[in-house]
Amino acid sequence: MIASLADAWRWYESARTLTLAMARLGAKHWKDLPWEGSLGRDERLKSLDRGEIRANSQAVLEDLDDLCVLLLFSVFEANIRSRVLAEIEIEVPGLRHVALRHAVATLREAIQYGSFFRILEPYKPLDANLIEKVNQVRRYRNWVAHGRRGPQPPAVSPQSAYMRLQQFLVMVETTPPRTLG
């Protein structure tokens, strides 16, 4: 299961390594494989031809980098939302007034389903520059997620996305929530 940025990165590296290996096998060695033995009886492999392997590998690799950015940001977003929610839950038991309890219910919903941009806003005093870097990843993710329609925002590589999001998580994890604001 992919639950952390490290998990997502491992998935990306594995998918890329395996696809590149399969592409290489198809392009360079497919006809030299010992098809006379058990390999030739393997239903999954015997029907594959070089052209199909090439086309399929290319189809995977063409979008893999952007899919990785999408995945990294989704994992990051889920982590931040649940972290903020957990931090707020600690404060809730002390609240007695009905208006406050109602406000907390609204806040919970906003944290779970509302604009992620607004969730990041309170972290600005910690490092506004880093928030902007994360927002650049978010904008690129949105562009990819909406079918790459319209002008391209500044391009984000998987490595840049991973480093920025990881940097933000480290900052949040090492800062007690009450020091914000």
Partner 1 sequence: MPASKSFRDFLEEKAREGNEVTRRQQRQEWVDAVNRLVSQLSQWLTEADPKGVLEVERVEFRKAEEEIGSYQVPGLDIRLGGTAGVRIMPVGRNVVGSVAFRGAVGMPAEGRVDLTDGFRKYTLYRTLEGGERWHVVDDRYNIAPLDQARFEAIMQDLLS
Q: Site mask, partner 1, residues 11-40, x = CB under 8 A?
A: -----x--xx--xx----------------
> How many other CB atoms are there within 10 angstroms of residue 107's CB atom?
15
Determine the distance from the C-alpha atom of residue 167 to the mean position of all C-alpha atoms in its chain, rounded to a whole number.
Answer: 14
Question: Among all chains, which residue has been given the structure tokens 């309170």?
Answer: 122
Q: How far is the CB of 160 from partner 1 (least distance, A)?
A: 4
**Alpha carbon distance 106, 84 (integer Å):** 14
**Alpha carbon distance 141, 148 (integer Å):** 9
Stretch touching partner 1 by CB under 8 A, among 2-10, 78-86, 88-96, 145-153 = 145-153
**Alpha carbon distance 7, 74 (integer Å):** 12
Q: How far is the CB of 173 from partner 1 (least distance, A)?
A: 23
Question: Among all chains, which residue has been given the structure tokens 């899919």?
Answer: 67
Q: Does 154 bind partner 1 (CB under 8 A)?
A: yes
The correct pick among 33, 39, 49, 58 for binding partner 1 (CB under 8 A) is 58
Residues found near partner 1 in the complex (CB under 8 A) = 16, 19-20, 23-24, 57-58, 61-62, 133, 136-137, 140, 150-157, 159-161, 163-164
